[in-house]
Structure 1
Amino acid sequence: MDNMEHLGAISILPATIAIILAFITRNTVFSLAVACFVGVLAMGSGLLGFPTLLKNSLGTTSFSWILLLELFIGVVIAFFQRTGAIRNFTLWVEKKALTRVKVQLVGWFMGMFVFFSDYFSPLFVGSTIRGLTDKFRVSREKLAYIADSTSAPVSVLVPITGWAVFIAGLLIGIGPIENAEQAMSVFVHSIPFNTYALLAVAMVGLVILKIVPDFGPMRAAEKRAQEQGKVLRDGADPLMGEELTDIKPHESAGTGLLLNFFLPVFIVIGVAVGTFIGMGSAKTMEAFLCAAVVSGIVMRFQGIPFNDIMKTATSGMKGVMPAIIILAFSYALNQLSKDMGTAKFIIEATQSWLTPALLPMLTFLIAAIIAFSTGTSWGTFAIMMPLAAPLAFSFSANEITPLIYATVAAVAGGGVFGDHCSPLSDTSILASTGAASDHIDHIKTQIPYALVVALLSAMIYLMIGLSL
């Protein structure tokens, strides 16, 4: 199918089925599989269309990258568990006389600190402080919310991330933007206009400090955790295998917090940030591979048997398989949405509404709908930026004005909204994985907060548009 075509309203059927079934059945894998199967039948591909879809969508470099990234992250977390690094970190932090609120603030600040990767951030935050939040009876849903809201929303606000480079790259050649330097300048100037990302990050702090009280399903989850001590609801299905969560520390090993926790963390951050500065692209997967190898070598020198190290690494890989399976079907559904022209249909159905005053708000809403339906922010950026930015320039006499900054920010913020709270989103899946939370419980408790922020953002964009 040509990129400019779509199948009409039927093109949104698979994503709609996946989202509705996920909330009804609480089983993400089943929901995604059914959505993909119905989608290929709707396209007329027949029964063989389903395995063909999986083969074509998963046999790609992008899926291989996230598959390896997940596996190496699983190995590093397993090594953290086996060496007692997370336990030792928990004991070290406990000496700081923390309270329930302060523990959550630690997670909030950690998420903002690890800004360079929306993949690493939720996994690192969730797995690192999960022991502490469990001790202070913080629900896994709240931990997943903290980890998720400091991943993509933070990454899109920092000019030295892959997000910034990608968005800036999409702007080159549009209007008077002729090179990467000009494009990055536009991105930097758009940051103050990215109201959704800014408010989403701020909302976490306000909720933790109870300036904004818990509401909706999150309030019930927190009440359950505090009054009954149940960080997970009865019958919940944590998105992390027992092979990983049940790993016990190797008590006879001479392990320490510096070599077994901080060294791997510094390696990941150093390699990712260093490759971004030196090569223009953060090599996150390679960073985790390096950290896993170094951690394994350190463990051997500390007296842990080689077979034990390999068994631990294998357990780590098994532990992340639930997330990998969901990611696989999410990739397949995303490919199906592309083949059916889902995003194109949504754009055509709404583009007649666009006026200069409404452009920022409608751009944000359209990008949010596309991202929520497809579960991909970067795909939304790639679709919306070439459409919204030229429109903005046509309304601004081909000059770089605040309308341009607001429109670019609206695309970025709308994309992050979908990536932030869609059950199909990879970063939301990773947040559930890091927090060992039931994935649908995480989505149900987070969506009300995200919707409040999205509504405020839409109102702000409307005011911005009317004032320009």
Structure 2
Amino acid sequence: MESYGIISLLPIFIILILAVSTRRTLFAMCAGLTVGAAILAGKNGGFVDSWFHYAYKSMSNESMQWIVLIVAMFGMLIVLFERSNAVSDFGFWARRFVKTQKQSMVATAILGIIIFIDDYLNNLAVGTTMKGITDRLGVPRTQLAYIVNSMAAPVCILIPLSSWAAYFAKLMESQGVTVHGTGMGAYLRGLPFTFYAYIAIIICFLQIFGIIPKLGQIRKDYAHYEKTGSVFPEGTDQEQVDAEMNVAEPGEDDRPRPWNFLIPLAVMIAATLAAGTEVLVGSTAGVITAFVLYLIQRKMSFRELLEACYDGIVSMTFVMILTFLAFAVQQVNVDLGLANFVIEVTKPVMKGAFLPMVVFLVCGVYAYATGCFWDLAAIILPIVIPLANAMGVDPILASSAVFSGACFGSNTCLYGDGVIMCAQGSGIKSIDLMFASLPYAGMSAAATAVLYLITGFVM
């Protein structure tokens, strides 16, 4: 693949600068896509044809179509939960067990570990489940989202039954890295070296218990809560605040029914596992279960249920558009040869004992800048594994460094699918979640780099 050299960095640079300065992620993504389409206009028959070429590429991408279907199903489920009062009933029921800020944050982290099957399911389900409880106890939404985000991808990497583990194991096997003849055997052998995932989870718990202080966006939002009583980041649209906080208290004769929330959630998780970690099957089963359950109980009429499903899809429009733009920009990066440029620039320092650390840093920065995580592993493993073999470095260790870098990117990229879905589930903007996560993810990345340097020399 031809590389445009340093020019290939321009769309990403534009996106990050505009997103940070304007806090308008969609605008920043459109600008980045436009710049990329302009650079590649000669290749694609002119600027207009180039722009729509990448729009079409994004819409025809099977992964993008799959994500849109997932998001639509979760949108339906969330609105069904809200309009049937299932979420508020669960929150009122949970009051007897979760009574303090710290307890609510620990419960969020534990739920994130329990829902280990897939990071999409984790990011959307945990935020939706816990935000009513954490709101009541005065936990800022950015704090909630940081915890959800810090559990999602790291937990999925560390538990071999997840979609992440299955995919990465298959990649290792395709590159001839096996233990006892299987890629999963090699993946399990490499789990102790997937340092970023362990450290991110440990730092999250240390932050919850106050051993690591509140930093950056989270510190700012705690101060904002103390001043205004709002758990939302400063500048959040008042209409959104009113819509999410307008929850009716049950009457004296009403008994909260947590099962109206827990049963669809349990069916969703069980169906996902039964379908081989296929989240689309699980989320569809959850929607059908909720629909039938509320209809039988007459919580809502058939027409109201249909309207809730439609409104749920509409409520996810922002996420769908952002996902569409993210995939278009990723295709621009492919055609600009960004990955080849990064690899060529960093190859001279990918030597010997330094290889695992450099691989982690390169993968982490690339994943953060581009929003590519699974694609990143597929691109760079065929390069890293031969390098590791040639230099006498354990290819399993080098592979674990790639996976750690992908995990760091999933935790931090403002237009990565993990951050987009976590922000949506927690009811905040992607840019706010990125700023909330970066200080702690940065700590995790720094410690991970040191561990890979030490391990590279020891092994």
Shift of 1:391: 1.7
Please give the residue correspondences for 1:62-461 in structure 2 after superposition, counting only pairs within 5 Å.
62-175=63-176, 177=178, 181-236=181-236, 245=244, 257=257, 259-276=259-276, 282-303=277-298, 304-396=300-392, 403-461=394-452
Asked whether the 8 Å contact 1:116–1:273 carries over to 2, the reply is yes
Shift of 1:48: 2.5
Amino acid in structure 1 at the alignment position of 2:158: L
Asked whether the 8 Å contact 2:92–2:256 carries over to 1, the reply is no
Query: Cα deviation per residue 1:109-158 (whole Å; 9 max; x = unaligned)?
Result: 11111010100111111111111111111111111111111111111111
Query: Cα deviation per residue 1:232-285 (whole Å; 9 max; x = unaligned)?
Result: 2332259x9789847867989x99635421111111111111121xxxxx2211
Query: What CA distance in whole angstroms lies between the structure 2 residues aligned with 1:374 and 1:317?
Result: 27
Query: Cα deviation per residue 1:133-187 (whole Å; 9 max; x = unaligned)?
Result: 11111111111111111111111111111211211111225356398x5211111
Shift of 1:89: 1.1
Query: Cα deviation per residue 1:32-88 (whole Å; 9 max; x = unaligned)?
Result: 001001101011241231122111211222111111100100111111111211111
Asked whether the 8 Å contact 1:138–1:226 carries over to 2, the reply is no
Query: What CA distance in whole angstroms lies between the structure 1 residues aligned with 2:268 and 2:98?
Result: 28
Unaligned runs of 5+ in 1: 277-281
**What is the TM-score of this pair, normalised by structure 2?**
0.93
Q: What is the root-mean-square deviation of aligned Cα atoms in Å? A: 2.3
**For the structure 1 residues 123 and 97, does the alpha-carbon distance in structure 2 shift closer, same or farther, using more than 3 Å as the test?**
closer
Query: What CA distance in whole angstroms lies between the structure 1 residues aligned with 2:98 and 2:246?
Result: 27
Query: What CA distance in whole angstroms lies between the structure 2 residues aligned with 1:158 and 1:194?
Result: 11
Asked whether the 8 Å contact 1:26–1:440 carries over to 2, the reply is yes
Query: What CA distance in whole angstroms lies between the structure 1 residues aligned with 2:103 and 2:81?
Result: 23
Name the counterpart of 1:279. Answer: none
Amino acid in structure 1 at the alignment position of 2:436: T
Asked whether the 8 Å contact 1:364–1:458 carries over to 2, the reply is yes
**For the structure 1 residues 34 and 152, does the alpha-carbon distance in structure 2 shift closer, same or farther, using more than 3 Å as the test?**
same
Shift of 1:449: 1.0
- Partner of 2:275: helix, strand, or coil? helix
Which of 11, 16, 28 is the equivalent residue of 2:13? 16
**For the structure 1 residues 411 and 28, does the alpha-carbon distance in structure 2 shift closer, same or farther, using more than 3 Å as the test?**
same
- Quick check: 169-178 or 370-379, which moved more? 169-178
**For the structure 1 residues 328 and 176, does the alpha-carbon distance in structure 2 shift closer, same or farther, using more than 3 Å as the test?**
closer
Query: What CA distance in whole angstroms lies between the structure 1 residues aligned with 2:106 and 2:449?
Result: 28
Shift of 1:360: 0.5
Query: What CA distance in whole angstroms lies between the structure 2 residues aligned with 1:307 and 1:255?
Result: 25
Between the two proteins, what is the percent identity of the paired residues?
Answer: 28
Query: What CA distance in whole angstroms lies between the structure 2 residues aligned with 1:243 and 1:319?
Result: 15
Query: What CA distance in whole angstroms lies between the structure 1 residues aligned with 2:133 and 2:179?
Result: 50
- Partner of 2:399: helix, strand, or coil? helix
Query: What CA distance in whole angstroms lies between the structure 1 residues aligned with 2:242 and 2:76?
Result: 11
Query: What CA distance in whole angstroms lies between the structure 1 residues aligned with 2:134 and 2:242?
Result: 21
Name the counterpart of 1:53. Answer: 54
Shift of 1:394: 2.2
**For the structure 1 residues 204 and 434, does the alpha-carbon distance in structure 2 shift closer, same or farther, using more than 3 Å as the test?**
same
**For the structure 1 residues 248 and 75, does the alpha-carbon distance in structure 2 shift closer, same or farther, using more than 3 Å as the test?**
farther
Asked whether the 8 Å contact 1:367–1:411 carries over to 2, the reply is yes
Amino acid in structure 2 at the alignment position of 1:414: G
**For the structure 1 residues 204 and 248, does the alpha-carbon distance in structure 2 shift closer, same or farther, using more than 3 Å as the test?**
same
Query: What CA distance in whole angstroms lies between the structure 2 residues aligned with 1:381 and 1:163?
Result: 11
Asked whether the 8 Å contact 2:224–2:234 carries over to 1, the reply is no
**For the structure 1 residues 257 and 355, does the alpha-carbon distance in structure 2 shift closer, same or farther, using more than 3 Å as the test?**
same
Shift of 1:382: 0.6
Asked whether the 8 Å contact 1:121–1:147 carries over to 2, the reply is yes
The number of aligned residues is: 453
Amino acid in structure 1 at the alignment position of 2:350: L
Amino acid in structure 2 at the alignment position of 1:225: Y
Amino acid in structure 2 at the alignment position of 1:296: F
- Partner of 2:165: helix, strand, or coil? helix
Asked whether the 8 Å contact 2:154–2:197 carries over to 1, the reply is yes
Shift of 1:370: 1.5
Asked whether the 8 Å contact 1:83–1:249 carries over to 2, the reply is no
Name the counterpart of 2:38. Answer: 41
Name the counterpart of 2:28. Answer: 31
